[in-house]
Amino acid sequence: MCLNSLFRNRYRFLVAVLFLAAFGLCVAPAQEKAAAPSPAVKIEIGVRVPMRDGVTLSANIFRPDKAGKFPVIILRTPYGKNSASQFGFGRFFAGNGYVYIVEDSRGRNDSDGTFHAMHDEADDGYDTIEWAAAQAWSDGNVGTFGGSYGGENQWMAAVSRPPHLKTMGVLVSPPGPFYNIPFQYGALTLLMIDWSIGTTDHVGQSSRELGLDRAIRELPLVTIDEFATGKPIHLWKSFFAHPTYDDYWKVVDYERRWDKVDIPVLHISGWYDDDQPGTFRNFTAMRRLGRKGQKLLVGPWPHAINSVTKMGILDFGPASKIDLQGTMLRWFDRWLKGIPNGVDAEAPVRVFVMGANTWRDEPDWPLPATQWTKYYFHSGGKANSLSGDGVLSVAPPRNEPQDKYDYDPADPTPFIMPVSSGQIGGPDDYRSVGERKDVLVYSTPPLEQDLEITGPLSAKLFAASSAPDTDWNAMLLDVYPDGYALRLNDGVIRASFRESFEKPSPIEPGKIYEYTIDCWQTSMLIKKGHRIRVHIASAAFPKFDRNQNTGHPFGMDSKMQVAHQTVFHDAKHLSHIVLPVVPAKANK
């Protein structure tokens, strides 16, 4: 894998290209309709919106060019309100009887103040919603819209309970701060360095004319921002000042206040969305709280949802791409205009099953018909690499020797990326990674019939390490008859965070601990003749930072040491992965 090609100019385009890729996808349908006469739209550029502390934010406002009061849709973004895609949205929604407001986040682009990621979004979102509701052109019904950071900031505003917020359209939203970004079960999502640099104004060029491909290998980790740009980046430094779930994170963790939200929400994500867990955690939380009007829509997409019909070797067919503009319009028509268009009568869950290449409507998530099936790890003590003897089976182990490997942070197990610009991971071929001795490989025999896996994935690992802290990674793969080992999804847990994000604790070298690894979600029909495979390792670099195995304060020094790892699978230590198997009769 060439890290130079991976990181070349990433921090220059991440905040623009990635976001515009995710939302520029809706511009095309609007352009197709441009030939037909469209209602006149009035556009106001750079309108100042006052916040409670006296700071004013800058917004573009698109509204029908006629007298009257209209419902309002608001998108708040740190990525720039003046993009072509935002003008496309504005004209589309205003042409359909809405006021559309796109606003620069505090301290970004034309807005005043200082950008302090996540920390001002609750108040600023609340104030923007209530300001919009009070304008002469507003009928008082306000909805919000946006994705990625623009999805997360919707939740932050919603838990503050602005009285005029009636609904949200939330796309690819990150979850709470320790389930994905900036941390995932204790491990730092390393490409937050991109985002930290990209959302910092006037960082200039690297003082050494070096890119992030070199910087991410530097230690100590806390200073790689300075290595890459020549200047300290406040957001990056905050991760090291607050590496645990302390008050700094609690105040922006909207999941702590889910119970404050009681409005209809459209939750959208993709099976290869980099921020995938937020969508599922939010949807299931709202359903658990009994909130009506919740809809989950998941397609075979990367973080830039609905942008492709192919990823890697997978071709999902033309039906995998939807009319996303039309979907959003129907949602807002129902919940902001009160039009009885049947949205609330539809199945609450709509997912695309990869492999079968079909959309399916379901009553809940996880699917009620799911058969939670444990696939246990087996070996004769030599599961290392593809040439090892690791086996994956529904039969539990009895008396089997443990598997061992050495994890060296100076030569970390790689994570393959990107599938496309700005995408952290996809359905890549992990054969080359599986050839490494620091990867334990467990595979089933070729399947005798098709097997659908749709739902959450989790691995249970009984393991010991020679180090006071280390990482455990698990990955699920669909292995083709020709050997192509297609990544479905993966997860990580930092050993010291096994019991608490708030109060991590070291492990005792040599002691066996039980770890649960959240591998997110997937939906795939694994075909007859394919095999199911699990990789166990202690790094996924550069998706996550390298655990240096020392137990020293996070990111503060350059010392590294090799960890001697042991994975147990016997009658007392049933290491396994739990797969959400959907019986054939349930998916017809």
What residues have CB less than 8 Å from 30, skipping those under 6 apart?
88, 89, 91, 92, 325
Q: Where are the beta strands (DSSP E) in 249-366?
A: 265-272, 294-302, 310-311, 314-315, 349-353, 358-362
CA atoms within 13 A on the CB side of 518: 15
Say whether 570 is catalytic.
Answer: no
- Residue pair 580/362 in contact (Cβ under 8 Å)? The answer is no
Find all residues with CB under 8 Å of 54, minimum gap 6, and list them. none
Choose, from 111, 127, 275, 303, the residue flagged as catalytic: 303
Among residues 273, 428, 438, 469, the one annotated as catalytic is 273
Amino acid occupying residue 226: E
- 344 is a catalytic site residue: no
Three-state SS for 29?
helix
How far apart are the C-alpha atoms of 430 and 448, rounded to whole Å? Answer: 23
Within its chain, how far is the Cα of 58 from the centroid? 28
Q: How far is CA 201 from CA 114, 115, 228, 347, 383, in A?
A: 10, 9, 15, 44, 49
Angle 200-205-210 from CA coordinates, rounded to 5°: 115
Query: How many whole angstroms separate alpha carbon 261 and alpha carbon 320?
Result: 31
Is residue 273 annotated as part of the catalytic site, yes or no? Answer: yes
Strands 471-479 and 531-537: antiparallel
Name which of 474, 444, 486 is nearest 355 in CA terms.
486
Q: Rounded to an integer, what distance in angstroms lies between the CA atom of residue 103 and that of residue 488?
A: 36
Which stretches of 188-246 are DSSP H helices?
Answer: 192-198, 212-215, 224-229, 234-241
For residues 297 and 331, the answer to whether their CB atoms sit within 8 Å is: no
Q: What share of the chain is helix, strand, coil (3-state, %, to 5)?
A: 25, 30, 45
Asked if 249 and 177 touch (Cβ cutoff 8 Å), the reply is: yes
- d(CA 329, CA 197) in angstroms, rounded, equals 35
Q: Is-contact 567 536, C-beta < 8 A?
A: yes
Backbone angles phi and psi of 89, in degrees to 5: -60, -45
Distance CA 26, CA 242 (A): 37
Sign of CA dihedral 385, 387, 393, 399: negative
Catalytic residue among 111, 138, 148, 379: 148
Look at residues 534, 264, 511, 244 and name the one whose alpha carbon lies nearest to residue 378: 534
The residues, any chain, with a CB within 8 Å of residue 37's CB and separated by 6 or more, are: none
Catalytic residues: 148, 273, 303
